[in-house]
A = this chain, B = another copy of it.
């Protein structure tokens, strides 16, 4: 039986798209993560092309330890289970990203979105625990919302924050359902469906708990126009 390596990183992605491939660590062994980290380090030695910031998402503590051992100085955020290499985000350019989350329990996903957008080069503002059950909380942040070029809304359960925010602003919304809740929340399905059916148009939805994807999309939406035109 003929076998090849465990991974083929898409090194050219930064050159092609402007954003590097991330390493999704969930379901990989610590050794596999370490091997992939070392492949990136080797590539940075072997090639003089720019590689961009490599993110390690959904990384467990042992995986993050292995990444640090392999790559040296890395950025690590325990709330978001995220590592980044190099450890500093690039200088921000393009528009402004605002990340809003409905409750404290949505924070890990919101943080993953915020950090991803930051490491992809955007200025980011985080607004936490502003669910619509107490409407004054979100209305109190109206200036921040209207200053955004794109807003990431992170919410579980009824996800009612999405149409409320969308109806108040002109910029696009990236909506991230979370698996917060129980019973008929169905691990995020309730929020996902609610978001897909937002009565206010202008909402693009990503996978349940996919803070990374939301931050990536927000960074693209708010990219400097010269970047993609």
| Chain A residues packing against B (C-beta within 8 Å) | 1-8, 10, 12-13, 16-19, 21-22, 24, 26-28, 32, 36, 58, 95-96, 102-105, 107, 114-115, 118, 123-137, 147-149, 156-160, 162-164, 166-172, 174, 177, 179-210, 212-213, 216-217, 220-221, 223, 225, 227-229
Contacts and interface: CB of A to CB of B under 8 A. Distances in A.
Nearest to A180: B27
A13 B186 CA distance: 28
Contacts of A115: 1
A129 B8 contact: yes
Count copies of this chain in the complex.
8
B207 A184 contact: yes
A135 B184 CA distance: 27
Given A10-B137, A202-B217, A206-B196, A114 B185 contact: no
Contacts of A180: 27
A134 B220 contact: no
Nearest to A17: B170
A118 B196 contact: no
A160 B157 CA distance: 11
B183 A201 contact: no
B229 A96 contact: yes
Given A105-B24, A149-B228, A195-B158, A202 B183 contact: no
Contacts of A28: 104-105
Contact of A4 (B126, B177, B223): B126
A157 B197 contact: yes
A27 B24 CA distance: 22
A115 to B, nearest CB: 7
B132 A163 contact: yes
